[in-house]
Structure 1
Amino acid sequence: MKVPFKALVVAASIALLGTTLGAAAPENDSSPVQEGQQARSEAQVEPYGASLFRSTPPGPGSAITDPNRLVSFGDRILLRIWGAQQFENLIMVDAEGNLFIPDVGPVKVSGKRMSEVQASIKAAVSDIYRDNVSVYATLADVNPISVYVAGNVVHPGRFEGTQNDTVLDYIIRAGGIHPGAGSYRDVDVRRGTFVKASYDFYDFMDQGILSEFDFQSGDTIIVNDRRPSVTVAGGARNTNAFEFAAQQMTGKTLVASADPLPGTTHALVRRTADSDSKDIYLLMKDFSGFQLKNGDEVYFTRDAKSDTITVAITGAVEGQKNYALKKGASLKQLLSFIAVDPSVALTNAIHIERASVARAQKLALNQSLQRLQKEATARSTTGAAASIRASEAQVIRGFVESASQVEFPGKVILARGGQVSDIILRDGDRIVIPEKSDVVTLTGEVLISNAFVFEPGLRVKDYVMLAGGLSGNADRERFIVNHPNGSSQIVGSETVVANGDQIIALPKLDTKGLVMAKDVLEIVYQLAMTANAVVFP
């Protein structure tokens, strides 16, 4: 049974608010949750361009009346000659592309429009009958051709049409592109073993460009596999699934096709393809250069007055993961609307990951690394000591390079005395609700990094023994324990471990071999405690 966080707040009402950003709030004006638009689920979102194949393909009659249609083999032309000579008959264009007129001879008409055919026949007749002869020619019947449509279409097969029908016409006859498997950006026309034309229907959707192609009987249209794609779930005129043109797609490319609604200021990118799903909230100017990934879901929003913030919830919670809140909303206000299963969620270990804290931690780390590297390269000695210092500087450079790659989650610790403190939320906050765990993990300077079933009363050294013991380079006196609530401690080997803890066995640096060992060790501890990262020279 899922219940609100009664230990934290007096719940107004239990409400799972949908699955989209900015779901509807209760009528109480004091609620931090604002009304918003309902996004469509991914299952309901059609591929961009699906509407192209809902029309009816043209029949042969449209080809007869089309003044731009090119005459081809098998077409029948009604020819009338009157005046000094009288003639009327249906004449078929032969395999050489000629129209044979008695007493005149063959006239080349294949590949010409009917207006051009009329002029060609007139010129040929006038060479024989120079005076008082008039000519009229019209297309009476067209020769159908058979084209195969294969690949990811609803009804693959052979379909009749005309030489000048478009690739869209033939795919419509095949029932359209399969919405879950076919590509709207990778369609080939094959003649034998050769690809004679390739189509990207986004060119037609966005710019109205569709190249003409003269089909022949036996040609094959292949609809290839669907490419990686992202879904626009709301806030745009075109809420569809959009395929990548290449291996990557930027926000700018997506905006060109999706056409966000007027006044759009932000884009929310819900990334679920990674092992750890996350939500990224960007200003449109930042979204323009943002690299999208296959499976991303994008929601465009308008936040012109800046009176709202967006927060995400991760961990032991189901249902809605993203909320648009009024500025000034607190954690406890938000939690009153979140339903969890208390048998699964560790409600006394809730903490926040905040971008501003992460930036500050990253800045502090970079400053420490810069000072460390500056000191390592500034030391000036001679003789054997110079060689030692050069070797030390090389070690420091490697350490600095590795440490600079670490990213901080920006943890804000809220747990105190078994209770979670209230806090005003900020835009982009990520609220972490840890799951209860019966596992203790051990990493770092141990023989076998592993996870072990929690046993009450076991100490750090007991779990070290389960991992095969410490490595020869380990610090045997001090360990770091990271707790599920985001906090960390430096402990000894006799410390009793709680369920869900992470134990990190750190290296023991040689203070004789490394002059700046103390400075390095401070950074090692900083990374282990704030970023759960083990980095050492």
Structure 2
Amino acid sequence: MPNSLLRRLNLALAGGLLASACGLAQGTTPTGSPSPAAALTPVAAQAVHHQANAQSDVFGAQLFTGAFANAGATPFNPDYLIATGDTVQVRLWGAFSFDAPLTVDPQGNIFLPHVGPVQVRGTRNAELQERIETAVRRTFRTNVSSYASLAAAQPVRVFVSGNVNRPGLYGGTSMDSLLHYLDQAGGIDPARGSFLAVQVKRGNAVRASFNLYDFLTRGRMPLLQLADGDVIFVPPRQGTVRVSGLAQNARRFEFANDGAAPTVASLAELAKPMAQATHVRVVRNTGTVRNTEYYPLSEAAGVTLQSGDELEFTADKKPGTITVRVEGEHTSPQEYVLPYGTRLGALLGQIQLTPDAEAQSVQLFRQSVRQRQKEMLETSLRSLEAALLTARSGSSDEARLRKDEAELTLQWVDRARRVEPLGQVVIAQSGQREDMLLENGDVLRIPRKDGLVLVSGEVLFPNAVAYEPGLSLQDYIGRAGGYTQTADNSRVVIARRDGSFEQTDIRRLNAGLAVRPGDQVLVLPKVDEKRRQFWKDMTQIIYQIAVSAKIVFGL
């Protein structure tokens, strides 16, 4: 199987696995069949869920990517209450020396030599030192100093239930955070679980409820001491609104269904619109018909939202100025900040050319043109790729030949995708050049009269040849060593400095096609139509690359 095709199949399988992981419920798919993650080992399934969380558009899902599952217990929580099974490190020095870890027994005591049992269960971590010191002084009034610290909290096993990816019983310590246990369970299911009201239950009582948005937006995470058998329960997700466009947090946000409908202002606090955003588009979830509302940000603060609505922050204003860069043979500034709507003639009138400048071959490079050239090349490559992957064979021998051909051609397609077009606009021959509107980011290049002709592509010695008026196109190719064995000498492209192109073939080499100083001669490679089923498509793409990028892309 071709390497490129194998990579695509692997990506498709991985994408399907992650998509299924996002919608898992108790290890099954929405249709009730076993999910792919259910068949994996616990560690592998956890990794699948963590990767799916990292790619989710739900605000808060990125919390559960393994960072909290691998973290250790909080080293010091001043409000932690010492419990049975905890380990306390006690050191005595002076007239009497002692240094050992002591475990809190079922009666809640630790036993100190010559002091006896000391009740520590229920003592705040911040008050542990004072409790031990008081007990020691009752026996050793002088010459004995003491120091005590919590060495290790008791191990506990906590149930994680509700709308999480992998409900179960997970181990840790009583000092581990709520996020540690949720992360071990694969995190909150982005499609079903709520981030606003995560509950910690002990028996039938709800000990605490956590809003994870407070942690994400304000850094607030109350520390809660968990005990063996506690239950972390994630209730069903509440209302949601999706935010896109010019926002730092373009995510899907949850809001509480408590009667207070969210507004654009409350969502903006979470989404953080960018400075250039001026308007907001609200697409209402009204069933089969989707209604759109459009507001300036100054008027949208009080607009109420409903579950399923979509917000898009946009920039709806015309730019006041544009920036154009001028390169090459001139003595003027290289960066021009011009009013929006400035035409090319107005800029050319401000440029002072050097004596060596070739004014008739002014070059314009535009980002939008470059993008369109890239898109057209990608369309051609996708068409060729689809034809390769769907071609049928009439026999086993033909199938083997097709396989070899497809493998080589797909490798060629991958290399062709990395070609970057120049985005050059042909303006030198336009009679309306002076009236052309400039765009932000345009680059104007004034070439220099160098008197050279560049010959490249399928020639033996690609090189720059000094221009001579009496030489023909065939002469310049001959001075570059002549054609290679893979050259298509019936397809020669001359790239003019002004961005225009001329193509010729062997029957026209002596038909008066002039070569000018600064031209680039591109000899295209030959595609063997007997061996390549898709030679016409490949020939067209080779020519397209030569025109847009001024390079010869061989096989």
TM-score range, shorter chain: 0.3 to 0.5
Tell me the TM-score normalized by structure 2. 0.45
Q: Which has the higher contact order (CA 8 A, sep 6+)?
A: 1
Tell me the TM-score normalized by structure 1. 0.46
More helix by share: 2
